[in-house]
Amino acid sequence: MTISTIDDINTLIADDMSKLNACIKTRLHSEVALINQIGGHIINSGGKRLRPIIHLLSAKALAYNGSQHVDLSAVIEFIHTATLLHDDVVDNSDLRRGEDTANALWGNAVSVLVGDFLYSRAFEMMVEIDRMQIMSILSKATNTIAEGEVLQLLNCHDPDTSEERYLEVIHSKTAKLFEAASELAAVICDRPSEEQQAMAKYGMHLGCAFQLIDDVLDYTSSAEEMGKNLGDDLAEGKPTLPLIYTMQNGSEEQSKMVREAIETGGLDKIEQIHEAIHQSGAIEYTSKCAKNEAELAIASLAFMPESQYKEALIFLANFSVSRNH
């Protein structure tokens, strides 16, 4: 089978995905009914499960024959889901994946606490696996994600945020869990350290490419395609790369307009800002940066023998920069 669509990947790892979904359902259970309700709401709300898929594919590409990859995929999904619950509270978001956010439905306090439950359940499962290196990678990843969230808050409403500072945020906030997902596959396969590092680089570069394109899609896609309110980042005063590039390379008038929008978090001139971003070349520049990250991700797989699983990993890197949602 040639891997040419996401459906092909789902077919390739259908058995593992079935086991993953069963594991998530079992380990999500709590005696507190509201936890089941909210956890189920976000876990089952149509997410791509991209991070668990990366781990499953990487493990198979490295000829893993055990069952820990399923448990680790669930751990990764729980950590990711916890960050989403907390993100939506911090950002006061009311829409994710085309559905009402948990905080919009149940309130901020419950959303934060259920996020905490998912974090603690993930660490409970890590302890059961009983490998210090796994716990080290995931605990550091979780800590780095939290640091990335704080860095992003520090950048909010700051139009002088540099491209370097922006990239530091996406390395920490988004790419770190991608990195852990792929690196852990090499760890459970007991591969040499250089291969573990290569897999970590694959995930890190893929995560960066994914986030860069997310920031492009905020100005090129539709709310229906993205499943969120477009312009949310601008409304929150987040200086993403398309905005940073426009301020640095647009006309004086365009730069001033974007600066003011970031400072005030206003959407009054969203149409003019869209136009400025497109005229400045910011979309092309950000897309080029994303493509470079995808190419670096693919290059890191050079050590890996050819297989359908490697082909799927390469497809994901290319898909991350060609998608429209």
Task: Annotate 151-202 with DSSP letters as a single string.
Answer: HHHHHTT-TT--HHHHHHHHIIIIIHHHHHHHHHHHHHTT--HHHHHHHHHH
pLDDT in tens, 192-235: 999 999 999 999 999 999 999 999 999 987 655 544 556 778 88
Q: Residue 110 has what pLDDT?
A: 85
CATH code linked to domain 9-320: 1.10.600.10
Q: CA-to-CA distance for 296 and 227, rounded, in angstroms?
A: 29
In the chain, the N- to C-terminal Cα span, in Å, equals 25
* Amino acid 226: pLDDT: 47
Residues in the chain: 325
Query: Which run of H or of E encompasses 99?
Result: strand 99-100
Q: What pLDDT is recorded for position 227?
A: 47
Q: Which amino acid is at 71?
A: D
- What's the angle, vertex CA 151, arms to CA 287 and CA 124, rounded to 5? 100
**Taking the domains of the chain in order of start, what are their residue ranges?**
9-320
pLDDT of residue 107: 76
Nearest to 224 by CA among 43, 89, 95: 95
User: What's at 120, amino acid-wise?
Assistant: S
- What does the pLDDT profile of the chain (325 residues) look like in tens digits? 789 899 999 999 999 999 999 999 899 888 998 888 887 777 777 667 899 999 999 999 999 999 999 999 999 999 999 998 888 887 777 766 667 777 777 778 888 898 999 999 999 999 999 999 999 999 999 999 999 999 999 999 999 999 999 999 999 999 999 999 999 999 999 999 999 999 999 999 999 999 999 999 999 876 555 445 567 788 889 999 999 999 999 999 999 999 999 999 878 888 999 999 999 999 999 999 999 999 999 999 999 999 999 999 999 999 999 998 7
Map tokens 């570069």 to a residue. 205
pLDDT of residue 276: 95
The chain-wide mean pLDDT, for the chain, equals 91
Distance (Å, whole) CA 85 – CA 77: 12
Angstrom distance (rounded) from CA 213 to CA 284: 11
- Residue reference for tokens 């990764």: 76
Residue with tokens 């507190």: 32
What's the rounded Cα separation, in Å, for the pair 303 and 198?
8
Looking at residue 46, its pLDDT comes to: 61
